[in-house]
């Protein structure tokens, strides 16, 4: 079950990063209140902390996390932006998740 724990942690991490970037986006592009920056900053701090919880090398975590981020971002596009992903979007997200799984769960010697 460590694989499910890793995937779950990556999912929560991706949501924290997307929220942390989306709130400043709303301020910069949509003219929303500057006060959105405060929860955005907090969300990005949580994002960084969550990445530090993985028990493997930072570079491997960052590389693998990118695949989950892509997957979550595609569903953010659908759920928050209201734009249904194309088949190509879903295929790309699937390829990214496969890459994440190879990086994180491949057997390692030593």
Let me know if residue 110 belongs to a domain: no
Let me know if residue 32 belongs to a domain: yes
* Number of domains observed in the structure of the chain: 1
For the cut 80, the answer to whether the pLDDT of residue 109 exceeds it is no
Show the domain range for 48: 2-105
Provide the pLDDT confidence category of residue 32 given band limits of 50, 70 and 90: very high
Residue bearing the bigger pLDDT, 102 or 108: 102
Q: What average pLDDT score do residues 27-32 get?
A: 95
The CA-atom distances, in angstroms, between 90 and each of 11, 52, 73, 85, 100 are 16, 28, 11, 7, 15
What integer pLDDT is reported at residue 110 of this predicted model?
63
Buried b (16+ CB within 10 A) or exposed e, 69-89: bbbbbbbbbeeeeeeeeeeeb
For the cut 80, the answer to whether the pLDDT of residue 15 exceeds it is yes
Provide the pLDDT confidence category of residue 56 given band limits of 50, 70 and 90: confident
Token pair listed for 82: 């209201």
**Rounded distance, CA 79 to CA 3, Å?**
26
| pTM for the full predicted model | 0.86
Let me know if residue 73 belongs to a domain: yes
Contacts of 26 (CB under 8 A, 6+ apart): 32, 36
Residue length of the chain: 110
**Rounded distance, CA 26 to CA 51, Å?**
25
């Amino acid at each position: 079950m460590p694989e499910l724990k890793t995937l779950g942690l990556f999912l929560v991490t991706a949501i924290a990063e997307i929220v942390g970037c989306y709130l400043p986006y709303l301020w910069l592009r949509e003219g929303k209140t500057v006060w959105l920056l405060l929860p955005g900053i907090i969300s990005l701090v949580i994002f960084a902390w969550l990445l530090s919880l993985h028990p493997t090398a930072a570079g491997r975590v960052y590389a693998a996390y990118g695949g989950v981020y892509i997957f979550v971002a595609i569903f953010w596009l659908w759920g928050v932006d209201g734009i249904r992903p194309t088949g190509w979007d879903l295929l790309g997200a699937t390829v990214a998740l496969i890459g994440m799984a190879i990086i994180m769960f491949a057997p390692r010697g030593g």
